[in-house]
Structure 1
Amino acid sequence: MSDWNLLVSAFHFMRPLWLLLLPLVVFLWWRTRRIHRSRVTVDETIAPHLRKALTVGSSGKRRWQAIDGVGLSLILVIVGAAGPTWSRQPDPFVAQSAPVVVVLKVTPSMLETDVAPSRLERGKQKIRDLLDRRAGARTALVAYAGTAHRVVPMTEDPEVMVPYLDGLEPDVMPEDGDAAGAALQLASEILEREAEPGGILFVLDELAAADAEALNGFTASSIAVLALRPGDSPDRGLNQLSATSVTVTPDDEDLDRIERALNSAYRQALLDNVDQPWLDRGHWLAWPVALLMLLWFRRGWTMRWSGLALLAALVVPVEPARADGWIDWFPTPDQQGQRAFRDRDFSAAAERFTDPLWRGYALYRNGQYDEAITTLDRVETAQAAFIQGMAHIKSRGYRDAVRSFQTTLQRDPNYPNAQTNLDVAREIVDYIERTREQSDTGEEQLGADEVVFDNESNRGAETQMQVPQEKGEGALLSTEQWMNTVDTRTGDFLRQRFMIEARDQSREAP
C-alpha cells in the first residue's frame, strides 16, 4: 500500500460531533450574504463611467465580502476542533523505522567499474548512507555469493556494522556463485525473531530469473532491491521483479524510494497499534485562520470577532506565558522538542523538552547517559526505570543497570524486554566477578593511573593496569594499547568465519 493510500485509509476525526456545527455556519453565511447583496444600491445620479471608476470590486455575486472570510474561518476552526488525524503518536521507546535486513551480494561481478568507483563500493556507500538515515532503528547485514552468511545480527548501533561492511570483499566468500535464494531464507529467519514487521533490502547487480520468482513469491516481509547497474543496462531477472526495484542514483532519490517501500508494512502495524493514541493534527488549521484574520485590518472589513475568539478559546487550550523568543508564541516547548526529536536532533530536543520522561529519553539518545539518569529520577514509571537501565548499560554501570531493570519489573512485571535485559546485565556482572577471581594473583602493580572495575561483592582482587607515562621503546603498554597494535583485518576474520559456516552447512546438507 502506498503512503497516500495508507493516509487516506487512516484519516478520521477524533471528535466528529463538532462537525454538526458546519451546516449552521453554512446557513448563517448564506443568509447574511443574501441580505447584504439585497441592500446594495447604485447611485443613478453619477455618470456610468465615473461610477465604474469609483467602484471597488464587482457588485455581483462573485465579490469577496467580509462574511466570506468569517465563514471560512469558522469552518476551519470547527474542522480543527473535530480533530483530524491520520497517524498515531510516536512511541518514544520504539524506533520509527521498520527493522531491516540488508543483503549485499559479494561476487567478482560486483567489482565492475561501470558504476563508479565500483558496484561493490557504491553499494557499501549506499548502505552506510541508509544506516545514517536509520539511526536508532534495528538493522542486520547478510552477505552472499555461493553461500549466504549473517555478517551482523540485528543492532541499533550503525557503528558496529561499518567495519564488517568494509571488510566484505569477494575473496572472503568461501564459494563462488549467486545464492540469492539462500540469502532470502536467512534474512527471513532473522526477521522472524523481531516483534514488528520488517523489510529486506537486496543490494546487487544481477539477479537470476529463478531467484526473481522466489522474491516475488515471498510475502512475509516487504522487499526492495537496489540495482547497482547503469540505467541503460537492464537485467532480465530484475525486470521480472514485482517488488520495488530502484536503480542506483547519484543523489538520495533511490534511498527515499527504498525507505518508503520497506516501511509500508511497518507503518500499517503502527496504525493498528491500539495502545498508542492518535496524533491530533487540528492545530495546523490555526495558521490559515490567522492569515484570514489579517483581513480584519482592511478598511470596510471590520467584523465582530468576539464569537470566533470565544470559540477558539474554548477549543485551543491556553498555555502559560513564556518569554523564550518568538518561536514560543505558537508551538509549546514540548511540541518543539517533538519536532527536534523527529529530526533526530536529540541535543536540541533535550533542551526544549519540559516533560522529564521525554527529556530523559532525548538525553539518552544523545549519549548523555549520566544526565539522562538524573533527569529520569523524577519519573516513577516503568518506562523511566527501563531507560535508566539502558543508560547504565551504555555507561558500563552494570550493577546499577540490574537495579534499574529490577525496578522496571516491580512497576510493570510485563514490561517488554525488561526481564531479558535484567538477565543479560546479571550475566555481565557475574562474568566480571569470575574474571577477577581467576586473575587474583595477590600481586599489585602500582602506577600513576589505574583502572578499577566495580566489585561490590568483593570477589577476587581489584584489577589494576599500569599505564605508562613515557613514550619510548621500552615503555610498558596497557591492555587497550596492546590490543590496538594487533594487525588483523576484518576481512581475515570474516573469511575464517564464513569458511567454518560453509563447512558446517555442507555437513548438514545430506
Structure 2
Amino acid sequence: MNFAALGEGFAALQLLRPQWLWALLALPMLAWLWRARRRHASVWRDTVDAHLLPHLLDTAPHPRARLAWWGAALGYGLAVLALAGPSWRHVEQPLWQSHAPLVVALDLSSATMAADLPPSRLAQARAKLSTLLRERAGGQVGLVVYAGDAFTVAPLTDDAANVALFLDSLLPDVMPVDGQRGDRAIAWSAKLLRQAGFKHGDILLLTDHADDAAQAAAANAAGDGYRVSALGLGSEAGAPYQRPDGSVAGARLDPASLRALAKRGGGRYAALAPGDADLRTLRVLDPTATEGAAAQGETGTARQDGGFWLLPPLMLIALFAFRRGGAVAVLLVCLWLPWHSVHAADLWRRPDQAAHARMQRGEQAYRRGDFARAAQLYGEVDSADAHYNRGNALAKAGQYPQAIDAYDQALQQQPQMADALANRRAVKAVMDRKPPKGPKQDQGDPNPKADASKNGKPSTQGGKGEAKAPPQPPSPDQSRSEDPASERDPGKQQKPASAAAQQAADAAQRERMQRELQQAKAQPDAKPPTDTPTAPPRETPAQRERRLANEAWLKRVPDDPGGLLREKFRIEHERRQLQGLQGE
C-alpha cells in the first residue's frame, strides 16, 4: 500500500459543509435510546419479577442485533459525511463574463441650459449619453436624472436602445423642483444597483460641481462596492442661465470638486470633450474593465463535492433495513430490470414536449441527409405534421409506396392539408412514370425538376405552380414545411420529357398568353389580377362615425414627449413628501 499517496489524499480532503459534522454528536444518544428500547421491549418484563430477570434471561445481545446496530451506525455516519461535502480535488469551471452594470445620473437642473458648451450643456450631455449607449459593449445600463431630487428614467436593463428613447425628452421643466442635489442622485443610483442584486457596479455623475454632501454620498457608495465617477459639464469660464423663477445666475465647471468626488468614490474624472476619449478615460465603454471582471472564455477552479460517492454504500446498507430476505429480493429485482441508457430530461417532459423533441431531432436528421433516420423519428409521433414530414423523408430516400402511405395517414388526420395532397400527387406521378434508361438521377428525388438551393439543401421557398420534391421539414417555429408541391399557378408547368412535348407546351403557353391579351383589350377598365388582398368592405355610417371620432380624439392628444416623465416625477415627488422621504 502506498501510504505516502494515501496521506496526500487525506491532506487534500476538505469538507465543503463541515457544520454537518455536529450531527455525529447525536450518535451516542441514539445508541442509548435504541438499547433502552430493546431492553424494555422484552415481553417477560410484564410476567416476571424484575429482580429475577437477570437470572432468567440471557442479556447478551444477539449477533444479528449487534450487526444491525453497527450497520445503522455506519449508515448514519456515511450520511452525515456525505452531507458534509467531502472534496478531494479542484475541477475547472467556466466563469461567466462579468459585465459591470452602469447607472448614469444626469444633472437636469436649470444650470444645464447654460451655453458655455454650445448650444447648451444639456444638448452636449444628451449627445454624449447617446454615444455611450451606442458604443457600450454590453452590460446593464440605467438612467437617473436629478435636480432638487433624483428620479428614475429607466431602470437597469440590457437594452441600451430602450434607454436612449428617453434622451430627447429630458429637459429641466420635467423636474418638479430645481436644484443640484448630487448626493441624492448617488444614493438613488446605489439603491437601483442594490435592488437589482448587484454587489458591484459603476455610477457616472454628469454635472458641473460636487458639494460636500455629494462627496460623502460617493464615499458611502464606494463602501457598498459601487464605484462613482464624474463627467464634468461646462467650462471653467462658465456662462449665465435663467432659473425657473426668472432670475439669472451663473454656472461654471468646478473640476477640483469633481476630482475629489471621484477620488472618494473610487472612480475617475474627465471633462466632457468631443469624441469618446472622455468615456474611455472613465472606463464606462468596456463593462469588463472593472476590477474583478473575468475575461471572456476564462476558466476558474472550484472544489468538487465528492459526497455522492458515499451514496452507493449507504443505499446498500439501507437494503438490509427491510424485512428478512428483503435485501436479497431487492437485489434480484435490480438485476432483472433491463439496463439501458435513459435521458433524465425525458422523464419530466409532457407528451407534447417529448413529441416536439422528436420532431426536432427528425428535422436535424433530414437536414444532414439522413432520411432513413428522419423517417424513423417522425414515425414515433402520431400527428398530421409528423406523417407529412415522414412522407417527405421517405420520398427523398426513394421509398415511394411508403411515402404515399405516410401522406395518406397525414390526410386521415387533416384531410385539407394542401401540402400533403400536392406531394402525394407528385410522388404518385413519379411512380407511374417509367424510369428512363441511363445513369441514375439523384436518389430520392421524385421530381426531375428538383429544386436545389445554393447550399445544396432542399429549398423551402417553393413557388406557386412547381411540383417540387418534398420540402424541408418544419423548423421548430413552424408546424410543417411551407413548400407544398402543388400546382397553384397555371403559368408554370413541369418540363416535358421529350422535345415534341416541349414544343406542344410552348405552343399552349403562347396560345394562353394571346388569349389573356385579347381579354385585356376587350376590358380596358378592368384591373389586372394581383396577389394583393381584396379591398375591405364598405363601412357603415356608424362605423364611419366611430372612426372619425377616434381620429378626432387622437388629434387632441398633445405632442409632448416629456409629459409622461413630468407627471411621473411630480407624483413621485408628492409621494415622497407625504412619506417624509424628502426632509432637508
> TM-score normalised to the size of structure 1?
0.40
* Higher gyration radius (CA): 2
> TM-score normalised to the size of structure 2?
0.35
